[in-house]
Every structure is written in C-alpha cells, then in structure tokens.
C-alpha cells in the first residue's frame, strides 16, 4: 500500500502503481465489501430457512427499527409511503448495509482488522436484533452470526488479489508470477482448477499486487455463493407459508348470518367515484408492524386465555370453527393513524365467535379492565374489557368477505370490536388473551404514548370530485363516505366556499357499525371552489372543525378540498 501511495513518476499514471491503479484497487476493495455483505446476507437467509423468516438479519433489524423509532418518524413514514412503508424500510436497511459494506471494504484494504471487526459487528447487531424481538425463536441470532462469519471469510478471500496474495492460499504468490511461476501455480483439485482458469484468462497477478483477474474470479464466486444461498434460503422459506393450508379450510356457516342489505344499499352502483360499501380483501388497508407476515398453521393454532379467567383455557382453531353461535356482521374498521380525508378505513363482512359470550363463558373477572391481546409476533393490543363484553357484534373473527382471514389481515384469528380504532381492538394473528387491568400493563401503542382507550371519532370524507381535479362545468355529484361506528351517521352536510351547509342525501342505513355513503349533486359554473364536508353521528355529535393530529387519539378536522370547473 505504501508503495502505491508514493508513485510519483508521470509514467505511473496507469497500472497498479499509478493513480489509476490506486483508484482501481480502492474501487475493488469497496466492491469486495459489498460482495462480502451479499455473501453474509445470502448465507444468513439460508440459515433463517431453519430458524424462521423473521430471524433473517434485514427483517430482524427492520423489526427493531419499527419498535424503536419515535412515533413522529413512524407516522411520517406511514404518511409518505402508506402501505409501502415496510418495503421502504427494508430498502432503507439494504441501502444502509450497502454503504456500510462499501466503507468497510475500502478501509480493510489498509486495515484488515477493520474489515473483520466491521463485518463481525454487523453480525452481532443482526443477532441482537433477532434475539430481542418479543416473540423471538430459539437460535434467532444464528443466521446473523453464521452470515457474518461467511462474510468475513468472503471479505478476506476477496482482498487477497488486491494485495498480492493469490486467491487460494496454497497457490504460488503472484510476487513470483513469472511465466514459470504461473504455470507452477497450476495444481490439482479446486484450487488447481481456479488457477488453470486464471492462467487461461491470461496473466494472473501483478508484481505490485493487483490481480484483476483473480479479483474477478473471486468476485464471481462471491456473487455465486450469495445468489445460491440467498435464493435457496428464499425458496426453502416457502415451507413456512400457510397459504395452501388456508386455502384448504372451509369456513363454517354462521348461525346468525349478516342482515340482508337493503335495495340500493351501495351508492357506488349509481354514483361514479364513491367508495364501494364493501371493501374487497385485496383493497383493504393494512396497518401493522410485521415486516414478515406471521404464518400460523391452522393445525398448530392455539388461543390461550390467561389472567383473570375462571380457568386457564386453550382453544384450537377447530374449537372455534365448531361453535354453534358464530355470527356474520358487516363492520367498518378504522385506523387511528388515519388523517382527515385519509383512506385507512375499510368495510368487510366478518364471521366470528361472539366475543362477549365467549369471555363470559370462560368466566372473565369483573375486576378486569383490560384484555391484553397477544399476536404470534409478540404484538400486544390492549382492549377495554367493558367494550369487549358489551359492544354488540364484537367478535373473534375467522372469516373476511367469505374467506378465511387473509394472512396479512390476521389469519387464522383476529379480534374485531366495532367503534374502537384498530390499535386497541383489532389484534391480528391472535394467540393469547390475558384478562388484566390498565394499571397493570401498558400494551405496545400505549407504551408509545398513544391513548389508552381509542373510541373512533366521527369522520367524513369527500371521494368525488378528487382534490385539485379540473372538470367541465355543469352538474355533477359531490359524494363520499362518513362513519361513526356503533352510533351511526344521522346527517352529512357539504359547504361550497363560504356558502350555507347543505344536507347531502345518505345511502340507506345498513347498520350503525358501517360507514355510510352520501351524495350531493351540485351545479358547478366555471370557477374554482373549496368543498368541505361534515358529518353528525346519530347521537347528535357533530364532527368538529378543530384540527388534531392522529397522535395520540385520532385525527379531527373537516375534509376540505379545492376543485376547478372549466
């Protein structure tokens, strides 16, 4: 290295001793870091096929980032990336790893130990992240540690041709890589094969230590190892996938089917652009902290009751499917993170076990104020016991729109309590209910300062015309949805600029737990208009114009948009 640092002669502008050579060597070193990281991640992915998808380092680190970052940053991410927040996070983790690896590679050209410790640190962090997740599997740290070990070997291997050492330890150093030396290096076995290949490709090595062909060979080998282990790990992880087991299930017929929808119930059939009454599963919003979606095999499923119940009880999925009191209900679910005018709300036809009856049957204590619901990935969601017992149609849901729950919506069992935001009522991948008190335990979101109880606030949204839209002047509908679950919507009014509030027509009432579509035809003459909507719940609660952020208990304010008729 010191020799390359000095190279003063003008003739040394190219070649390994010159400026070009120096930069080339650095470039290769950085690349070596990147390739070593790829090998580390690939090998880790392969090992995680044994220990579980969420033990793979990038997933584990992503999970940890989600649990550790401040709420403000998290809401920013949800606002910016929406449903793609997790893809953005994983991409972010990859980007950080890539930059880190490039720097480590560069530094290890001079200080080998920096490379070794740098990759080791990477393994330790990944291992800690994986092992410290709330529902960490045994040996969760293993993929990161084995991956890092492979990464160190790869890095040292890749640095060899950059520093005058042959790619394989037993071959002759290129320092005496004369014709004879090169021929001498041809040996037997794998090492011989590599060296023969090197010879075939031309002169291997350089007296001053940069062996380009050697580096390309080693790099190619690293890419191969990374691809085979990473790809293999990815394929092997399919064994965790439960979509086939889910597809094999037959949903039971509910004893109490959903009430028939009145004629003309869905305004979307007549008004273009309004949100459909029922949300398709594929369109249903998704909010959770799970980067790798929990995969629970129906035959392995257990729901455990602990805490203040008459007795500890465990239920299989079959136990729940076999009940003769299953209900089917249409319920609108809403996220507390929904901004005014936002789309984190959806309506589905759910099938499930009536929650109040189930809890009473198992002797839930009258002293319990909180049900701590646990999901298989360790999430805790604290639901008020009172609501779980008293809110009509609260359920342990097993079906969504005629199918077993989709995996990302909580398969095989989740909770639904109408009228409460999802973060306090809708635990997905539900495997445990502990009857306790709010004083005794802070659930995940409450620990992060969100409100303990989360009643859904009355809300309304303009779906059409779309904000900032230009359309031809004339008569067209202003339409959207409004919700106030458990209470129902009594009135929706629209204001154009500073005009009077005008009452919109409501779709037929289906159930208080559903959102309600509304429409107001309006004559637009050419010009620009501000459209504002407000709803009133059936109990007389008028949606407030005061603006509040989603944190800590749900957004308030009126949805107001600017449109132009021309």
Ligand X SMILES: Nc1nc2c(c(=O)[nH]1)N[C@H]1C(S)=C(S)[C@@H](COP(=O)(O)O)O[C@H]1N2
- Could you say which of 422, 454, 488, 554 contacts Mo ion (CB under 5 A)? 422
**Closest CB to Mo ion among residues 48, 334:** 334
Q: How far is CA 128 from CA 50, 237, 441, 506, in A?
A: 18, 21, 25, 54
Burial of 98 (0-12, 13-18, 19+ CB in 10 A): middle
Closest approach of Mo ion to the CB of residue 333, in Å: 9
**Closest CB to ligand X among residues 28, 429:** 429
Residue whose C-beta lies closest to ligand X: 422
Question: Collapsing DSSP states into helix, strand and coil, what is residue 351?
Answer: strand
User: Cβ atoms within 10 A of the Cβ of 67, count?
Assistant: 17
- Measure the CA angle with vertex 208, ends 207 and 211; round to 5°: 80
Confirm or reject binding of residue 287 to Mo ion (CB under 5 A): yes
Closest approach of ligand X to the CB of residue 94, in Å: 22
Residue 428's binding partner among Mo ion, ligand X, none (Cβ under 5 to 8 angstroms by kind) is: ligand X
The whole-angstrom separation of Cα 377 and Cα 427 is 11
**Closest CB to Mo ion among residues 342, 422:** 422
The whole-angstrom separation of Cα 233 and Cα 240 is 12
Closest approach of ligand X to the CB of residue 279, in Å: 9
Closest approach of ligand X to the CB of residue 428, in Å: 4
Confirm or reject binding of residue 420 to Mo ion (CB under 5 A): no
Closest approach of ligand X to the CB of residue 523, in Å: 38
Burial of 16 (0-12, 13-18, 19+ CB in 10 A): buried
**Closest CB to ligand X among residues 28, 421:** 421
If phi > 0 it is left, if psi is from -120 to 50 it is alpha, else beta; for residue 377 that is: alpha
* Binding residue count for Mo ion, defined by CB under 5 A: 5
Which range, of 110-118, 423-431, 537-545, 558-566, touches Mo ion by CB under 5 A?
423-431
Which range, of 31-39, 287-295, 360-368, 394-402, touches Mo ion by CB under 5 A?
287-295
Closest approach of Mo ion to the CB of residue 345, in Å: 10
Residue 415's binding partner among Mo ion, ligand X, none (Cβ under 5 to 8 angstroms by kind) is: none
Confirm or reject binding of residue 381 to Mo ion (CB under 5 A): no
Q: What is the DSSP letter of 325?
A: -
The whole-angstrom separation of Cα 179 and Cα 172 is 12
Radius of gyration of the chain (CA): 31
Where do runs of H (alpha helix) occur along 434-476?
444-447
**Closest CB to Mo ion among residues 154, 446:** 446
Burial of 499 (0-12, 13-18, 19+ CB in 10 A): exposed
Q: Output the DSSP codes for 13-69.
A: GSSTTSHHHHHHHHHHHHHHHHHHHHHHHHHHHHHHHHH-GGGSHHHHHHHHHHHHS
Closest approach of ligand X to the CB of residue 114, in Å: 39
- Could you say which of 309, 423, 429, 445 contacts Mo ion (CB under 5 A)? 423
Confirm or reject binding of residue 174 to Mo ion (CB under 5 A): no
**Closest CB to ligand X among residues 358, 429:** 429
Residue 44's binding partner among ligand X, Mo ion, none (Cβ under 5 to 8 angstroms by kind) is: none
Where do runs of H (alpha helix) occur along 302-372?
317-321, 355-361
Confirm or reject binding of residue 152 to Mo ion (CB under 5 A): no
Which range, of 25-33, 316-324, 345-353, 422-430, touches Mo ion by CB under 5 A?
422-430
Question: Collapsing DSSP states into helix, strand and coil, what is residue 398?
Answer: strand
**Closest CB to ligand X among residues 529, 551:** 551
Pair 238, 231: CB distance under 8 Å: no
The whole-angstrom separation of Cα 509 and Cα 502 is 20
Q: Closest Cα partner for 300 from 188, 431, 483?
A: 431
Residue 285's binding partner among Mo ion, ligand X, none (Cβ under 5 to 8 angstroms by kind) is: ligand X
Residue 426's binding partner among Mo ion, ligand X, none (Cβ under 5 to 8 angstroms by kind) is: ligand X
Q: How far is CA 314 from the centre of its chain?
A: 29
Closest approach of Mo ion to the CB of residue 444, in Å: 11
Closest approach of ligand X to the CB of residue 429, in Å: 5
Closest approach of Mo ion to the CB of residue 136, in Å: 24
**Closest CB to ligand X among residues 213, 409:** 409
Question: Collapsing DSSP states into helix, strand and coil, what is residue 274?
Answer: coil
The whole-angstrom separation of Cα 281 and Cα 241 is 19
Residue 110's binding partner among ligand X, Mo ion, none (Cβ under 5 to 8 angstroms by kind) is: none
Question: Collapsing DSSP states into helix, strand and coil, what is residue 185?
Answer: helix
**Closest CB to Mo ion among residues 163, 289:** 289
Q: Output the DSSP codes for 375-391.
A: ETTS-EEEEEHHHHHHS
Which range, of 32-40, 264-272, 416-424, 519-527, touches Mo ion by CB under 5 A?
416-424
Closest approach of ligand X to the CB of residue 378, in Å: 8
Enumerate residues 309-338 that contact Mo ion by CB under 5 A: 335-336
**Closest CB to ligand X among residues 358, 411:** 411
Confirm or reject binding of residue 417 to Mo ion (CB under 5 A): no
**Closest CB to Mo ion among residues 383, 531:** 383
The whole-angstrom separation of Cα 92 and Cα 146 is 23
Q: What is the binding site for ligand X (CB under 6 A)?
A: 284-289, 333, 335, 375, 379, 381, 409, 422-423, 426-429
**Closest CB to ligand X among residues 90, 149:** 90
Question: Which residues lie near Mo ion (CB under 5 A)?
Answer: 287, 335-336, 422-423
């Amino acid at each position: 290295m010191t020799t390359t640092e000095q190279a003063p002669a003008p003739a040394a502008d190219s070649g390994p001793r010159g400026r070009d050579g120096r930069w080339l060597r650095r470039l290769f070193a950085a690349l070596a870091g990147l390739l070593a990281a790829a090998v580390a991640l690939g090998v880790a992915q392969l090992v995680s096929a044994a220990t579980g998808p969420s033990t793979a380092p990038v997933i584990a680190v992503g999970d940890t980032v989600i649990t550790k970052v401040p709420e403000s940053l998290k809401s920013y991410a949800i606002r910016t990336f929406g449903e793609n927040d997790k893809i953005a996070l994983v991409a972010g983790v990859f980007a950080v790893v890539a930059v880190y690896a490039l720097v480590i590679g560069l530094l290890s050209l001079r200080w080998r130990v920096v490379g070794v410790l740098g990759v080791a640190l990477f393994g330790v962090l990944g291992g800690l992240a994986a092992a410290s997740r709330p529902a960490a599997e045994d040996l969760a740290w293993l993929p990161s540690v084995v991956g890092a070990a492979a990464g160190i070997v790869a890095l040292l291997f890749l640095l060899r041709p950059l520093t005058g050492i042959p790619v394989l330890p037993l071959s002759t150093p290129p320092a005496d890589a004369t014709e004879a030396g090169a021929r001498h290096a041809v040996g037997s076995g794998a090492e011989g094969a590599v060296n023969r290949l090197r010879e075939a490709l031309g002169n291997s090595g350089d007296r001053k230590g940069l062996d380009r062909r050697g580096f390309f060979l080693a790099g190619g080998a690293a890419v191969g190892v990374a691809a085979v282990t990473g790809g293999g790990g990815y394929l092997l992880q399919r064994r965790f996938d439960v979509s086939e087991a889910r597809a094999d299930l037959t949903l039971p017929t509910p004893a109490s089917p959903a009430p028939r929808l009145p004629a003309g119930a869905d305004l979307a059939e007549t008004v273009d652009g309004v949100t459909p009454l029922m949300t398709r599963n594929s369109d249903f919003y998704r909010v959770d902290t799970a980067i790798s979606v929990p995969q629970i095999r129906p035959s392995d499923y257990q729901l455990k009751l602990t805490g203040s119940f008459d007795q500890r009880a465990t239920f299989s999925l079959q136990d729940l499917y076999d009940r003769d009191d299953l209900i089917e209900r249409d319920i609108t679910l809403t996220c507390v993170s929904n901004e005014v005018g936002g789309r984190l709300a959806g309506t589905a036809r759910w099938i499930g076990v009536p929650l109040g009856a189930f809890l009473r049957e198992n002797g839930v204590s009258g002293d319990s104020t909180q049900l701590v619901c646990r999901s298989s990935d360790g999430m805790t969601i604290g639901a008020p016991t009172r609501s779980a017992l008293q809110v009509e149609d609260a359920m342990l849901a097993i079906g969504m729109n005629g199918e077993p729950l989709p995996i990302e919506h909580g398969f095989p069992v989740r909770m639904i309590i109408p009228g409460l935001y999802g973060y306090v009522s809708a635990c997905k991948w539900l495997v445990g209910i502990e009857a306790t008190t709010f004083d005794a335990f802070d659930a995940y979101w409450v620990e992060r300062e969100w409100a303990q109880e989360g009643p859904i606030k009355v809300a309304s949204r303009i779906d059409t015309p779309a904000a900032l839209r230009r359309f031809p002047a004339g008569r067209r509908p202003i339409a959207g949805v409004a919700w106030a679950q458990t209470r129902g919507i009594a009135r929706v009014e629209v204001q154009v600029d500073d005009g009077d509030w005008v009452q919109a027509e409501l779709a037929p009432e289906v159930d208080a737990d559903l959102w309600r579509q509304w429409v107001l035809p309006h004559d637009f003459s050419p010009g620009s208009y501000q459209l504002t909507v407000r709803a009133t719940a059936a109990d007389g609660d008028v949606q407030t114009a005061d603006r509040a952020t989603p944190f800590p208990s749900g957004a308030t304010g009126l949805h107001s948009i600017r449109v132009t008729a021309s």
